[in-house]
Amino acid sequence: DPYEGIDDHQVHEMAELLDMRPSDPRLQKFMRELEEDKKRISETGKAWTTERYDSRRIDCKAPKMRPKPAPPSPPLLVFFAWWFEEGVKKYMELRYDMKAKVFHIILNKSVALRDVKIAGRDGEILQCWDLFA
């Protein structure tokens, strides 16, 4: 009997599911392999999808990952503003050069003041973190 030790109901159910005849050698081989796998798993005591690992083992620690490099700082910080003055819309572009630590101010998209150092109320020169919108 090619299906020795295998339930006849399982054989017929699998044959119907796979659209094969029980006498097909491919089905016989498949059912034998399936039964061998079931026996091997039941002998070892392991479940189909679950494996248990000893949490005290050294190799179970999470891998050490390199820290991500810091993003590069931008070379320029740019702020745009506009307002109405006497019914006319005015524009201002304020640029802060991070390396030179100076401001470039562009008024009404044409008048440019370059390399301007601006002092705050306390007399200290403004820096990039003194700017906020």
Residue 99 phi, psi dihedral angles, 5° rounding: -80, -50
Q: What is the DSSP string of the chain?
A: -TTTTS-HHHHHHHHHHHT--TT-HHHHHHHHHHHHHHHHHHHHT--SS-----TTSGGGSPPP-PPPPPPPPPSEEEEEEEEEETTEEEEEEEEEETTTTEEEEEETTTEEEEEE--B-TTSPBP-GGG---
Residue 34 phi, psi dihedral angles, 5° rounding: -65, -45
Over residues 66-78, the pLDDT tens digits come to: 888 888 888 888 8
pLDDT at 132: 57
pLDDT at 116: 76
Cα–Cα nearest to 38, from 1, 67, 13, 7: 7
Cβ pair 101, 95 in contact under 8 A? no
- Which residues in the chain show pLDDT less than 70? 45-63, 128-129, 131-133
Prediction pTM value:
0.40
